[in-house]
Every structure is written in C-alpha cells, then in structure tokens.
Structure 1
Amino acid sequence: MEKKDKLWKLRLWLNSFRERCLQVVPEEHNSVDEMMIPFKGRFSNIKQYMRGKPHPWGFKLWVRTGISGMLCHFDVYQGTVDGIRQAKSELGLSGDVVMKLASTLPDGQNYKIYGDNYFTCVPLVVKLLERGIHYVGTASLPNCNLEDEKSLKKKGRGSFDVRVEGNHNICTVKWYDNRAITLVSSFAGPEPVQKIQCWDKATKTIIDVERPYIVGTYNKHMGGVDLLDSFAAKYKFPMKSHRWYIYIFWHTIILAVINDWLLYKRDCKALKMTKKEILNRRQFQAQLASSLILVNTHNTSPKRGQPSSGDTVTSGSPLDPQKRPSSSDVSPPAKRSSDHPRLDVRKDMIAHFPVKTKRGCCRHCNNGYTNTLCSKCNVRLCFSDKKNCLRDYHCK
C-alpha cells in the first residue's frame, strides 16, 4: 500500500464498500454533489472547511446518488494530491470528479446526471454526451450572449431567454423568478413551458408563473445527495474516537444501512406491499441490529431451564421496534406471544440447543404440547420419537 494514499488504513474497506454499491442497478436520474463527514479533530491533512454547510469542518466526499438517495459511487477528497486527477485537464477538478463518478455508468443508455454551479461547464457536457450520458446543471456563463438580469426583470417573473449550441445541440436557458438563474443541458430545453403557482410579496397573492421544462426537471431530480444527507442525520449513534479514520468508517456504515433500507423498500414496492407492511427506517435498523447480534452466534455453555430475557435478543425484546413494552405493562400477558425470531437467525444452524422448560404449546405445529425449548429462538418445539418440530422449524 503506497504511503501517498492518506486513506491507506481504510482503503481495503472503502474499495469493498464501493464495489458493493456499484453492484446495485443504477437509477436513470443521478445527482452529483459534495457530502461532509463532521470532524473537528487536529488531523488536518484531508480535513476541509466548507462555508454554509450544516457541518463546515470535516472530511469531504464526492458522491453520486440516485433520485431516491441511493448511494451509487463515492470518493473521499484527499486535497491537492488526489487519485482523481492524474494530470491537468480542460475540465478542471470539478469536471474530473464528475467524469470519475460517471465512469461506472454504462455508455449509450441515456442516463442523466444533475449538478450545480461548481461542477457544470460546457466541455464536461460535451464529454458526457460523447458517452451517451446526458447532463443538466446550473452554470455561470459570462461569455454567453443571453439577456441580462435587468431586462428579464422588466419582463416580469417567469421570463426566460434561450441559446442553443449548434455542434452538439446543447441548450442554455436563463430564467428569472426572484433572481436570474442559468441552466445548461444536453437533453432538456424550455419546452414544454409549465405554469406553477408562486407567492407574490408585492400583491400578497398567489400568481401563475411560467417555468421552463429544464428548470422543472432539475428541481425534481437534483436533490438525491441532500436526501441522503438527511437520512444520515437521523437515528445516529454518537461515538467518539481519537483516531480520525474511525469517523469515516462509521459514516460509511451508516450509508450502508441506508442503502440496505432503500433496497428493501424497492423490493417491497415490487411485491406491491402496503405502506403498513413496509418497515420505516427506525424499525428496519432495529431489526437489522437484532439479526446481526444473533445470526451465526452460539452460546459457549447452554443453560438449563428457560433462558432469561437478557440471554437472547428475539423479536419480543426491547430492540424490536414492532412491539415495545410500555411502563404500564407490569405483568406478562395471559396469552402466549405469536412473535417468531428473524428468519436469518432462525435458519443459521448455529447454537439452537434444546432445553427443558415448562410445558406449553408447540410454535411450529400448533397442535402439540411440549416441554422442549430452543435456547436461541426462545420458542417451544416438539422433540420426540414421533415428531421432530425442532428440526423442521430450523430447516424447512
């Protein structure tokens, strides 16, 4: 491992995590932006300061996400000595970042990338178009002969001006709402013009404002990285360490959980499950933690008798988001619970020891009584010469 790589302690993990992200089928619309990992320690080699961010001090990541917030590709910025730029190019650092993040997208399949002022330039749009990838982004084009902001302001809100580059049909639109904004695209233009309702401070009424199509599609598909940031800010577990690289590692773990949850939601929608059946982020994260605690684990010495509530973490434990005991629940319910352990824990084939307990109904066949209990799943199962529900429950 070369010492030039400032992230050499994390390089194997970062490469492995990136490869797993790239195995996910990318969405049609992708956004490219920056992401900050909060850090205020003394390690200053790759620590950055970005004014206007919720966490201005920290480590900067270049990120490409889908419209749903799914992380597709990323790279950690290491300063002037970075693996992104092998040599100076006409695109600059920002353009090279977009080209690297887009290098894993297949050519000629009409994928769309959205970026802001920092990344957008006309040579970048041309380079992506040569690969069959389209681009939309806000830009600053001082040499483009578009109408100035004063003339557009006189025409009123919703006015716009258009220019089209002849060689590659790259469209540039300058639109005035509360202020002028310029957008560049290789596939979107002003038509069809949409009418939206906006609040007018002067008349204190809602008025209709014309909005070009390029502005609407940019607003709709640009917020993927910001959405991922909002996901990462929720349900975080605080941690402190004197080692700076632990913060990057921990943040990638959070991003991995978010990707898992988004893939889970995608599969649930494909199965046409109702909203009530789909777990929210908190529930999914709690069940994932419970499964990771129990799966592929075993007790060194199985205890005799019924295990206590602290021995295992089943679906009825406090980690289970579906069923949390309230302060009023002093005594256990009269009827037996119908909860079952997670399927991955149930069928991991490790440490499912039969122990003797109080006689009760079998949880597999539901028509027999037994005094045998699985020490890991915490359920009663028939275990006799005539019936072996203990084996069937964990294998079938």
Structure 2
Amino acid sequence: MDDDNFGSFTQSETDDDSNYDGCDTSEEDIDTDDTGETDDESVDESDDVNPNSDSSEEGDWVQVLANEAGPPTVRYTGHCGPIHPPQPDALPIEYLKLFITDSFVQKIVDETNLYASQWIQSHTEYLQQKKRSIVNLWIKQGQTFVNEILAFLGVILNMGLIKKPTLRSYWDCTNPSQATPWFSKHYNRERFELLLKFLHFADNSKIPPPDHPAYKLYKIQPVIDHFQRTFKSHYYPERKISIDESIIGFRGKTPHLRQYMPNKHHARFGIKVWCLCEARSGYTYGFEVYRGTAGMQVSDNGATYDLVMRLLEKADLFHRGHHLGLDNYFSSPKLFEDLWQNGTTATGTVRTNRKGLPMDAVKKKLKNKEVSERRKGPLLCVAYKDGKKTPVLLSTSSKGGYKIVKRTGKPDKIVPQIVDDYNHVMGGVDLKDTKLYSYLAERKTLKWTNKAAFSLIGTAVLNSYLLYVANTSRSHPLDRYKFMVSLVESLVQNYEPVKIIRKRRTLEQIQAVSLSPDPVGSPSHVALSADDGHKIVKLPVGKKRNCIAGHPKRVRSAIFAQNVMEEFALNALLFFTIK
C-alpha cells in the first residue's frame, strides 16, 4: 500500500538508515486504497463489525501498565542470506542465470515458435493478400532460438536503462543527437517487433474454458510457477518481512484481471500482485497474482486472512521467528493471534471496524500525541492521536510506552514504541517497487501477457542484483546501473542479428531509367502488356503511392498497375484517358 507516515515521524527521523515507508494514518486513504472490481478481496467483511455499535468483543483486554516487559520473545531461527550462490567473484550474468535458467528460456523458444506456426497457418489467405506483411519476414528468416531470446531480453533491459518515447525511436538514426546505434547494431527492428508479436509462454491450443479457475492466468502461469520456485530457492530473508500489494500497470483488455487502485502513484489501473518481501532490501521471496475471489474457497476468517496465511505457508516461513509487517487491509486480532501460534510475530495498522478490538480504547477521545493501550496476552493494541488522525495499531512483538527517536539536524522526537517498530518492519514491498520501476522498460502494449511477464522478469533481475550484493567479494560492489549494463552486454554477445535481404535494382537498371528521356510519368513505368495482366487504376482523390517501376527519385503517383487479366487495348485506353 502507499502508506503515509505518522505525521512528522518519517523514516528519515528514526534511528535506522533503511528506506521504509511509514505508517498509514489516513482513514480516507484506507477506505479507497484497496477497492477494485466487485469481486475484489477488499470487499471482505467477514472480520468486520459495525464501528457505530457499542458492543465489543474485548475478551481479556487489560490496560497496559507503565514499564511493562512486553510479550515473550520469539527467537529467529532462520539462516538468512544466499543459498547455493555462484562464486564470490562471479560476473553478474551468473546471478541472473539462477533465475533466468536455460530450461526457462527454452520454454519461451518452444512456445513462441509454436504460436508463430499456429498464427501463420490460420492466416494463410491473409498473408497471400498482404505480401508486405511483416510476418512474411518471419517465414523467410525462420524460427527463433535460445541466443536470440537472450539477446531479446538484453534489448528489453537496455530499454529500461535508456528511456525513449517510442519503440522505433531506438532504431532511428536520422537525428545524430538522439541516435542510439547500439540497438540497430545488435538487433534488427523488424525481428524485434516480430518477437513482441509472437512471444508466448503457453500453448494456446490447450487453454481451459473461461469458467475454469486456471483460465485467467493460463497464458503466463509457466512464468509465475517458475519465479515462485526460483525466488525462494536462492535466498532466505532476514527476520523482518512485509506483505503488501503491488501493481503491474496496464489499461488494456485482460481476462477480468484489471484492478483500479486510486492511491497507487505508479499506475492506477493494472494487474494486482500480492508480494512477500524482505523489509530491509526489498528482495521478493514470494508473490501471488490476484485473479479475484470467483471460484475461490474463502474461510470464515475472510479472504485477507487466508491470503496472508497462504503466502507464509507456501514460502515455508512459519515457526522461524519472523516479524511480519502488515497494513490495515490485512490486520485483525484473529490473524495476529494465529500467526503467534505459528511462531511468527506481526505489527501493523488495523481498521477500527475489525472484530475483537477493545472498543473502549479505540473510541476513546484522545488529546494530541496521547495514546490508549490495551493488551490481550501477547497482542498489544494502541490507539494514537496524531494531529487530526487517530491510527490504531496491533502488535505481538512490541511493548507499550514511548521511544526517543533521533533525527539528523532536528530535535529528538518521542513516539510510541509500536509506531517505531511498524516503521522498521513495513515497507519492503514499496521499496521493491521503487527499485524495480527505476530501470523497468514499461512500454504501452495491447498484450497484457507481455506486460506481466516483463514485470516478473524485471523482478528477477532485481533479485539477482540483491543476491549479488549479498554474495560478492568485491569491496565496492557494482551499483545497480553498472550491474544491468553488464547483464545487457553478456546477453547479446553470442547473438548475430538477422540480416534483412531486400531485392534491389541492378546498376544497369538504375542507369537505364536515369537515361530515359521522360522518366517521370512515362508509360514505360507501367506494365501495359496483356501478357503481364495489369490494369491501370487511379487512386481516390488525395491518395498517392510510391512509384514501383524503379524511378530513382521515388516519384509518388495516384496511378498504379493492378494485377488483373485484361486486354492490352483496354489497359492502354484507360491509362491515357486518366493521363
């Protein structure tokens, strides 16, 4: 979520140097941030109560005493860091190969060639009519192969480093001040556009029916499965982790995947992705692409509860002592208590209409900077007055009271301990998004599959860089820009661009035309032979086309020869009548 900080208590004012977002205290933002289509999980009220009701399920909530000891400590037993990494002095491409494997690239090659063959077979008549279709180049040049796909990915990465307004502007060298000859040197533009057209990851002939649960994500499911497996195979996160939503910006047609999130600054329309990230670095350890609740079994605890438990279970992070950061979209007393039972602590904001909250503390009128604290076993609930905002937080890790926060160049601040803990554990997903979109090639496209796949591949590139930083033996590791430059050069080095062979006129033909007494508009430029079977036709008013008879000045004319079998006399009469 795009959470705001607690008023003036920004992360830069804490005693930690990590780049995390602060705590969301805006009830207005809370109500609008996670609303999407009618089947969105934000319409989950199974864990809510009427905020205007005087009844509450306080249970054993008690007031927090001064200088309390806090909940019992849950020891972290994980072994964070790289798992089976390359040698410490390995090149950046070796880290990328951990995620972009040979089998994954071969899968892209096979499915792309298969889809191209299927498309060509189903459009045979169209291609016979459209001789100048770009697809005819694919037929002449042949199918794609591994090195070409690797170079294709290298070009995509380089487009994220060099931002230009249009795709063709990367190959445009007419303006020397804006030219980027690297692209035309290492990849043919028409071949690149063909790969964008035919790029596929699954067999279309095996797609399930629209009412099947796997239908919506079928076309990118192999990409999702691959990265869900590799992301957790080569790195283990530190104690502090975050769960939040991210978005792949897309405004086109999707199989009911597009969501609207007004508080997202990067893109308001797109495909929602739930991410599990390390809070300190933003490493994506697990993720799930949202496809709606239709056809999904939701427990009595609600869809958001099920989502958090499912992400942690798939990532195998239970009973390891992790500290989880959540925002008010996910948090509830029931969720925090069950996480505690599974050896996981949590801290997060909570909506005031959740079941099980101490309503006397939540509804209490507070003065500015005043808190109201209640505890129920390991679970702490704090309502905090911060200007006009009164956020409510839950934690099974924090203790009550305040903490002095040191600020550079400013007086120290006193904030509730739970606020400081939240600011340090929440924000891993936002940090990941900030890093990802800095060098992600996001270009408008009609194919949502390409947009989603390139975003996941970009996440894999980011993860490979974070793995490199954690494992390299260099005293001064490469920054991310130089790391990606090295990847681009390595991906394209084994690929020779496809040469486009065009039929050109011979020198004798050019000289013969140039010596003609009346080359412009001459009948010799038009096939008037009955044997050739041409008919002279005049284009509509205002329409012209290039002369195809070989004129060196590329004369544009409204008259052309149409290939039909008619008599020579009629052709000549029609031509001279129009002339």
> Which category of TM-score, normalised to the shorter sequence, fits these structures?
0.5 to 0.7
Secondary structure, counterpart of 1:258 in structure 2: helix
User: Does the aligned pair in 2 maintain the 1:146–1:163 contact within 8 Å?
Assistant: no
Q: Note the C-alpha offset of 1:147.
A: 3.6
User: Does the aligned pair in 2 maintain the 1:37–1:60 contact within 8 Å?
Assistant: yes
Q: Note the C-alpha offset of 1:213.
A: 1.8
Q: Note the C-alpha offset of 1:148.
A: 5.4
Unmatched tracts of structure 1, length 5 or more: 199-204, 301-396
In the superposition, the TM-score normalised over structure 1's length comes to: 0.65
Q: Which amino acid letter does the alignment assign opposite residue 336 of structure 2?
A: V
Q: Could you say which structure has the higher helix fraction?
A: 2
Change (3 A) 1:195 1:176: farther
Q: Determine whether 1:120 maps to 2:327.
A: no
Change (3 A) 1:165 1:289: same
Deviation string 1:144-163 (CA, Å, 9 cap, x unpaired) is 2344577322xx32x21211
The 1-side partners of 2:405 and 2:487 are apart by: 43
Deviation string 1:97-156 (CA, Å, 9 cap, x unpaired) is 111111123332211111100000111112211211111110023452344577322xx3
- State the identity %: 28
Change (3 A) 1:60 1:174: same
Residue 260 (structure 1) aligned to one of 461, 464, 479 = 464
The 2-side partners of 1:58 and 1:283 are apart by: 30
The 2-side partners of 1:299 and 1:240 are apart by: 25
Question: How does 1:61-210 map onto structure 2 within 5 Å?
Answer: 61-67=273-279, 68-81=281-294, 85=296, 87-103=297-313, 104-142=315-353, 143-147=357-361, 151-153=365-367, 156-157=368-369, 159-166=370-377, 169-178=378-387, 179-191=389-401, 193-196=402-405, 209-210=413-414
The 1-side partners of 2:459 and 2:400 are apart by: 36
Deviation string 1:327-361 (CA, Å, 9 cap, x unpaired) is xxxxxxxxxxxxxxxxxxxxxxxxxxxxxxxxxxx
User: Does the aligned pair in 1 maintain the 2:253–2:446 contact within 8 Å?
Assistant: no
Change (3 A) 1:234 1:144: same
Deviation string 1:216-251 (CA, Å, 9 cap, x unpaired) is 111012111111111121122243432211110010
Deviation string 1:255-281 (CA, Å, 9 cap, x unpaired) is 11110111111113xx4x43xx21111
The 1-side partners of 2:467 and 2:411 are apart by: 40
Q: Which amino acid letter does the alignment assign opposite residue 18 of structure 1?
A: Q
Change (3 A) 1:99 1:283: same
The 1-side partners of 2:403 and 2:299 are apart by: 38
Q: Could you say which structure has the higher strand fraction?
A: 1
The 2-side partners of 1:31 and 1:56 are apart by: 22
In the superposition, the TM-score normalised over structure 2's length comes to: 0.45
- 1:248 corresponding residue in structure 2: 452
Secondary structure, counterpart of 1:180 in structure 2: coil
- 1:213 corresponding residue in structure 2: 417
User: Does the aligned pair in 2 maintain the 1:113–1:135 contact within 8 Å?
Assistant: yes
User: Which stretch of the first structure deviates more once superposed, 249-258 or 107-116?
Assistant: 107-116
The 1-side partners of 2:438 and 2:413 are apart by: 36
User: Does the aligned pair in 2 maintain the 1:189–1:212 contact within 8 Å?
Assistant: no
Residue 228 (structure 2) aligned to one of 18, 21, 45 = 18
Structure number with greater CO (CA < 8 Å, separation at least 6) is 2
The CA RMSD measured in Å over matched residues stands at 2.5
Unmatched tracts of structure 2, length 5 or more: 1-206, 499-579
Q: Which amino acid letter does the alignment assign opposite residue 365 of structure 2?
A: S
The 1-side partners of 2:332 and 2:481 are apart by: 40
Which of structures 1 and 2 has the bigger CA Rg? 2
